[in-house]
């Protein structure tokens, strides 16, 4: 009869140190999962870093008119921390990510305005997914700041909108400025 499979550690290394090292390394190993990955909800999740683009190769965008964007989430009690500030046509939006035929745009000035109204801790930013003609996809793209999120997998977000994402309405809301 053969010996059972045993783990032989170097002399003087207690098993608890090996176990502790394994527990510490496990999240790092698990964060190497390839994306896109399918979530429990059946949606495709992606890591935005894989779709980052140079804004200089894309036009800048502006709102065609001032408007109130949808809240972050369904907000029946009109909670202020879920309300997004009004978007005005003086904000300049740059393309930061391109996912398929969708451009994800971000405005530094709008982000600063949001942080004046709500507390911002720098842990995430919000982008808007638009088509090249300025039609907005429902919902917001909440992107975790890599300075505050250590594991790649924790930066994954849904590629496509959820049926619960609030709609921006019909028509083009943004237009290229260049």
Residue 51 domain-assigned (yes or no): yes
Strands (E), 8-122: 37-38, 44-46, 61-63, 94-99, 102-106
Domains held by the chain: number: 1
Q: Is residue 3 part of a domain?
A: no
How wide is the angle at C-alpha 171 spanned by C-alphas 170 and 175, nearest 5°?
A: 140
Task: Tell whether 2 is covered by a domain.
Answer: no
pLDDT(130) > 90: yes
Cis preceding-peptide flag for 67 (omega within 30 of 0): no
| Structure confidence at residue 32 (pLDDT) | 52
Give the pLDDT score at 3. Answer: 53
Task: Give residue-wise pLDDT tens across range 4-57.
Answer: 555 565 666 566 666 666 666 655 555 555 555 766 667 788 999 899 999 999
Q: What is the b/e burial string over 16-48, where b = at least 16 CB atoms within 10 angstroms of the residue's CB?
A: eeeeeeeeeeeeeeebeeebeeeeeeebebbbb
Ranked by mean pLDDT, which of 23-32, 80-89, 143-152 comes out on top?
80-89
Residue 63: band (very low, low, confident or very high) from pLDDT cuts 50, 70, 90: very high
Question: Would you say residue 10 lies in a domain?
Answer: no
Rounded to the nearest integer, the mean pLDDT of the chain is 82
Q: Is residue 7 part of a domain?
A: no
Banded model confidence at residue 165, pLDDT cuts 50, 70, 90? confident
Q: Has residue 174 got a pLDDT over 90?
A: yes
In a domain, 6, yes or no: no
Average of per-residue pLDDT across 125-135: 93
> Domain containing 38: what range?
15-176
Average pLDDT over residues 63-69: 95
What pLDDT, in 10s, does the model give residues 90-127?
999 999 999 999 999 999 999 999 888 877 766 788 99
Of residues 27 and 131, the one with the higher pLDDT is 131
Q: In what order do the strands lie in the sheet with 141-144?
A: 94-99, 102-106, 124-130, 141-144
């Amino acid at each position: 009869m053969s010996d059972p499979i045993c783990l032989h550690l170097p002399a003087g290394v207690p098993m608890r140190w090996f176990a502790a090292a394994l527990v510490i390394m496990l999240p790092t190993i698990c964060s190497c999962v390839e994306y896109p990955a399918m979530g429990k909800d059946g949606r495709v999740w992606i890591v935005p870093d894989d779709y980052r683009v140079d804004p200089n190769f894309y036009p800048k965008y502006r709102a065609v008119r001032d408007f109130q964007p949808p809240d972050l989430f369904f907000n029946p009690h009109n909670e202020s921390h879920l309300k997004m500030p009004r978007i005005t046509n003086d904000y300049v939006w740059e393309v930061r990510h391109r996912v398929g035929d969708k451009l994800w745009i971000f405005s530094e000035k709008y982000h600063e305005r949001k942080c004046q109204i709500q507390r911002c801790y720098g842990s995430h930013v919000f982008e808007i997914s638009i088509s090249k003609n300025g039609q907005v996809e429902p919902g917001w793209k909440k992107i975790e700041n890599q300075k505050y999120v250590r594991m790649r997998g924790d930066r994954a977000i849904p590629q496509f909108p959820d049926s619960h994402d609030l709609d921006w309405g019909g028509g083009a809301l943004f237009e290229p400025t260049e």
